[in-house]
Amino acid sequence: MDNHFYKLPLNFDSLFVSSEDYMKTCTEKESIDQFIEMIIMTCPGEHKFDKNFGSKIWDMDFVRMVSKLSWEKEFTQYLTEAVSRYETRITNILVSASIAEVQTGDDVYNMVSVKNKATIIIRCKLVSTGENVIFHYTLFLGPISND
Domains of the chain: 5-146 (3.10.450.40)
Chunked into runs of 10 residues, the chain (147 residues) has average pLDDT values of: 60 62 77 92 83 83 75 91 95 93 77 83 95 94 61
Q: Can you tell me the distance from the alpha carbon of 24 to that of 30, in angstroms, rounded to the nearest whole number?
A: 12
Whether the model clears a pTM of 0.85, i.e. scores above it, the answer is: no
**What is the DSSP secondary structure assignment for residue 24, as one 8-state letter?**
-
User: What's the one-letter identity of residue 133?
Assistant: V
Q: Can you tell me the distance from the alpha carbon of 3 to that of 86, in angstroms, rounded to the nearest whole number?
A: 18
Q: Can you tell me the distance from the alpha carbon of 120 to that of 135, in angstroms, rounded to the nearest whole number?
A: 8
**What is the DSSP secondary structure assignment for residue 18, as one 8-state letter?**
-
Dihedral sign computed on CA atoms, order 139, 95, 90, 56: negative
